[in-house]
Amino acid sequence: MPEPPSVLVAIGQGETLKLPKQDYKNIFTEYNVNHIAPATDADFYNRVVKAPATVNKSEFNIYGFMGARHKYTSKNTIQKIVDFFEKDSIINVVICDVVRETPYFQSPIYIHPQSENNIPFFISSALKDKISFVNGENLLQDQLEKLRKEHTIFHVASQLISV
């Protein structure tokens, strides 16, 4: 049986919540831990794509970029994202809807790729050389906008990430 696609998720600096465990077996996660190796999120994301720190693994099929305040909404979030990528080889950039969590309620946020939002996104390895994050308040959105100029952004209409 072939190995499932490998996924590397880069988590920006901040008060990182522990991400819920994923049922997906071929996932790797790197955190921008500022007190260990100080780096801006832009530098960190760029480094992760070009030279991941994962032991014995340097190439991945899918790369994800998330802020520290984001987390998965369920234990099968990554599986759903991988399944979406596997639907067609033209799928190279994927975003999903988000759930806003407060102590009192949860509310869905329906994402449109052209609206202004600093949301997590995932890319196929075919685009890893197109990644060049620049420091700024909305660095995820800015990079996504650069990708949108050349590539179609596919939208999973499910709330797979929460904030």
pTM of the model: 0.90
* 1 in a structural domain: no
Q: How far apart are CA 155 and CA 96, in angstroms?
A: 5
> Which residue has better confidence, 116 or 40?
40
Domain that includes residue 53, residue range: 7-162
Q: What is the pLDDT of residue 116?
A: 64
Q: Is 64 helix (H, G, I), strand (E, B) or coil?
A: strand
Residues with Cβ < 8 Å from 22, sequence gap 6 or more? Answer: 72, 75, 76, 77, 78, 79
pLDDT tens for 112-161 read: 666 666 788 999 999 999 999 999 888 988 999 899 999 998 988 777 87
Q: What is the pLDDT of residue 114?
A: 62
Q: What is the pLDDT of residue 2?
A: 74
- Residue 159 buriedness (CB in 10 A; 0-12 / 13-18 / 19+): buried
Q: What is the pLDDT of residue 118?
A: 74
* 93 in a structural domain: yes
CATH number of the domain that residue 74 is part of: 3.90.550.10
> Which residue has better confidence, 71 or 109?
71
Mean pLDDT for 105-115 is 70
Radius of gyration of the chain (CA): 15
- Please give the share of the chain, as a percent, with pLDDT higher than 90: 41
The total of structural domains in the chain comes to: 1
- Look up residue 103 and give its two tokens: 């102590």
Strands of the chain (E only): list them: 7-11, 27-31, 62-66, 71-72, 93-101, 106-109, 121-124, 154-162
* 2 in a structural domain: no
pLDDT tens for 43-67 read: 999 999 998 888 788 889 999 999 8
Average pLDDT over all residues of the chain: 86
* 28 in a structural domain: yes
* 136 in a structural domain: yes
pLDDT tens for 63-87 read: 999 988 888 888 999 999 999 999 9
